[in-house]
């Protein structure tokens, strides 16, 4: 039996779906993807959107940013982009005879890194500290970024010429990796019809939440959603199973367990539930864990993917009856 919603979880669910509805004014027929992106936001995580050109990766990121009244910055990643172009630079002011730090675009609530795999590994690594620690260190001084803080990165999965694959250490900093996919027939027709309407452009969206409200909802989901001991056990067994399969060279780390728990709490709150269920773990294990796995060369040659491994794990790891309140 599903527990009745509390006032707090009901408020969270209302705000969550108001944001999703707003984004769907432009991103048609992708409610599940929109909700995954919002789950990532309220989990205080970062999102990697990977797909073929023209499927709406950047549009989804821009719509999410436009739906929140917060600082937004976009960085177009190119091979000549420097780390200081992202994090900022320290300059010497002759008139005051002091060094001053000029913050880069990463000092925004929502940062869109478009085609992140086109920048050099040195530039990509400039994001590692700020994505994990939420601050930038320049010349020995630490500069915190605002809260909430989210990096939305996109990359093209087919045009790999002149690109630099993200290293495993940086992939692990993304709470989720998702693909948008092609729209269904009805949704694509709706997109074409809306081309002449003002609502077809992300810039036409009006914010339905502020940065402060998002921060409050992040804290609400973490505090209000309860997790049974049996569900903690199930979640850890799912993550541990990724480390034991013969097709996996490197399984998900404890960071993956923490990320999955945060996302599970948000999914439960988005459904106005004060308790998390195994269904939440099963729904989010793929987007949260699949990109953290490194498969053996033999598995990759046979066409196996991280998503395949997660699907196998979910079918083999049993659920304790006590994991569902």
Residue pair 222/12 in contact by the 8 Å Cβ criterion: no
Q: What is the mean pLDDT of residues 305-313?
A: 94
The per-residue pLDDT for range 33-44, each reduced to its tens digit, is 999 999 999 999
Q: What is the rounded CA–CA span in Å between residue 290 and residue 256?
A: 10
pLDDT at residue 19 tops 90 = yes
Q: Residue 148, preceding bond cis, omega within 30 degrees? A: yes
Strands 98-103 and 88-93: antiparallel
> What H or E segment, with its residue span, contains residue 300?
helix 297-301
What pTM value is reported for the model? 0.90
> Encoding tokens for residue 222?
């973490």
Q: What is the mean pLDDT of residues 263-269?
A: 97
Q: What is the rounded CA–CA span in Å between residue 78 and residue 71?
A: 23
Q: Cα angle vertex 264, ends 275, 12, to 5°?
A: 65
**pLDDT for the residue numbered 1:** 58
Nearest CA to 54 out of 183, 170, 176 is that of 183
Match 């675009």 to its residue by tokens: 105
Residue pair 202/239 in contact by the 8 Å Cβ criterion: no
Q: What is the rounded CA–CA span in Å between residue 154 and residue 59?
A: 10
How does the average pLDDT of the chain come out, rounded? 89
Reduced 3-state DSSP string for 212-249: HHHHHHHHHHHHHCECCHHHHHHHHHHHHHCCCCCCEE
**pLDDT for the residue numbered 190:** 81
Q: What is the rounded CA–CA span in Å between residue 113 and residue 44?
A: 17
Q: What is the mean pLDDT of residues 216-239?
A: 95
Q: What is the rounded CA–CA span in Å between residue 11 and residue 236?
A: 29
> Which of 80-84, 116-120, 189-193, 273-277 is the least confident region?
189-193
> Encoding tokens for residue 80?
């000549």
């Amino acid at each position: 039996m599903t527990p009745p919603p509390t006032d707090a979880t009901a408020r969270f669910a209302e705000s969550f779906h108001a944001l999703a509805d707003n984004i769907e004014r432009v991103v048609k027929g992708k409610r599940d993807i929109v909700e995954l992106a919002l789950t990532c936001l309220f989990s205080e995580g970062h999102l990697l959107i990977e797909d073929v050109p023209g499927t709406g990766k950047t549009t989804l990121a821009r719509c999410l940013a436009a739906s929140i009244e917060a600082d937004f910055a976009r960085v177009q990643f190119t091979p000549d982009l420097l780390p200081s172009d992202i994090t900022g630079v320290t300059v010497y002011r002759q008139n005051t005879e002091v060094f001053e730090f000029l913050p880069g675009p990463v000092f925004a609530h929502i940062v869109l890194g478009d085609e992140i795999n086109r920048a050099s590994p040195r530039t990509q690594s400039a994001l590692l500290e700020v994505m994990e620690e939420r601050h930038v260190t320049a010349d020995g001084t630490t500069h915190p970024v605002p809260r909430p803080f989210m990096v939305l990165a996109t990359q093209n999965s087919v045009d790999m010429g002149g690109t630099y694959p993200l290293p495993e250490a940086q992939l692990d900093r993304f709470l989720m990796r998702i693909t948008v996919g092609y729209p269904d027939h009805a949704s694509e027709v709706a997109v074409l019809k809306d081309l002449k309407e003002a609502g077809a452009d992300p810039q036409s969206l009006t914010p339905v939440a502020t940065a402060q409200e998002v921060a409050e909802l992040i804290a609400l989901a973490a505090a209000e959603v309860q997790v049974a001991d049996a569900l903690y056990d199930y979640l850890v067994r799912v993550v541990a199973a990724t480390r034991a399969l013969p097709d996996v060279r490197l399984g998900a780390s404890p960071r993956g367990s923490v990320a999955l728990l945060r996302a599970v709490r948000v999914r439960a709150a988005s459904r106005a539930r004060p308790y998390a269920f195994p269904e939440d773990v099963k729904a989010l294990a793929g987007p949260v864990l699949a990109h953290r796995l490194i498969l053996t060369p033999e598995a990759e040659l046979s066409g196996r993917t991280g998503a395949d491994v997660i699907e196998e794990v979910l079918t083999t790891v049993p659920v304790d009856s006590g994991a569902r309140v």
